[in-house]
């Protein structure tokens, strides 16, 4: 296979959780541009429909599947429905996530559990359900969206950092356990990107100025810049890449 052809995803079905906007939608668009049939997931029917219309207008094959990624029974039912309605899943991107900021000594227990359910439990639930379909076929790509906070901490986000650090190690564990069955499981660690989740930080001039100086590339990332990494890890070009976290962060994790 020619090198450029190995990046193509034609005929492959990809599920991207939390993909009605932001990073998830950008990754879905990238996978679709590489030829994949994408299944969008989110909580808002209105936002999902808007995303579908945007991708369909660009000529992409797109479907939706609304389900709660923190509900293991709902996840199992949704994965089965996708397999029957759309086709066998060959690509999964676990992107669903939330942020909760606050002083650790005062951090509410309910917020801790919500954050862990959304950022960590969901990747286990969806990853396991999809892997059970992939393993008998001997093939599959799973990409977990980690973070620079899988490696680095900052004041006020210790629970988020804990969830993303755990997701990094879950990614490695998935690769170790499922690699013998033909699955490749990797992670993408975004740096600071202009998303809805970071809107308050982007608008904060003091923080934004600090971040630009802290990042060797001297700017925020654009969500479209994550698409290439996702296409690579989902494709045959990454056939021997397994258990790796690819940081797309403007070198922030490389610099003190």
DSSP 8-state assignment for residue 60: -
Pair type for strands 245-248 and 140-145:
unpaired
Phi, psi of 69 (to 5 degrees): -70, -15
Query: Is 192 part of the annotated catalytic residue set?
Result: no
**H or E segment and range at residue 251:** none
Partners of residue 35 on adjacent β-strands: none
Handedness of CA 102, 103, 106, 109 (dihedral sign): positive
Handedness of CA 111, 116, 122, 123 (dihedral sign): positive
Q: Cα separations (Å) of 103 from 80, 98, 208? A: 41, 17, 21
Cα–Cα distance for residue pair 101/111, rounded to 1 Å:
9
Per annotation, catalytic residue among 7, 67, 125, 160: 160
Cα–Cα distance for residue pair 108/36, rounded to 1 Å:
41
User: Between helices 22-33 and 227-234, what is the axis angle to 10°?
Assistant: 50
DSSP 8-state assignment for residue 180: G
Task: Return the active site residues.
Answer: 160
């Amino acid at each position: 296979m020619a090198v450029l052809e190995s990046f193509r995803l034609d005929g492959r079905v990809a599920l991207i959780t939390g993909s009605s906007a932001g990073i998830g939608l950008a990754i879905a668009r990238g996978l679709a541009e590489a030829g994949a049939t994408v299944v969008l997931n989110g909580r808002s029917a209105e936002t999902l429909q808007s995303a579908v219309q945007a991708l369909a207008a660009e000529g992409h094959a797109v479907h939706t599947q609304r389900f709660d990624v923190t509900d293991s029974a709902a996840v199992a039912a949704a994965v089965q429905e996708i397999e029957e309605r759309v086709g066998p899943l060959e690509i999964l991107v676990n992107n669903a996530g939330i942020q909760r900021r606050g002083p650790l000594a005062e951090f509410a227990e309910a917020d801790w559990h919500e954050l862990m359910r959304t950022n960590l439990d969901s990747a286990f639930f969806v990853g396991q359900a999809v892997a059970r379909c992939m393993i008998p076929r001997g093939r599959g790509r799973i990409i977990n969206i980690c973070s620079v906070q899988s490696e680095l901490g900052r004041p006020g986000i210790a629970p988020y950092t804990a969830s993303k650090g755990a997701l990094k190690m879950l990614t490695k564990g998935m690769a170790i356990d499922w690699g013998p069955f033909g699955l490749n499981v990797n992670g993408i660690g975004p740096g600071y990107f202009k998303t809805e989740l970071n809107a308050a930080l982007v608008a904060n001039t003091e923080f934004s100025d600090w971040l630009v100086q802290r990042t060797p590339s001297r700017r925020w990332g654009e969500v479209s810049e994550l698409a290439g990494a996702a296409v690579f890890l989902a494709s045959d070009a990454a056939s021997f890449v397994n258990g790796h976290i690819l940081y797309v962060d403007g070198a922030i994790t490389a610099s003190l």
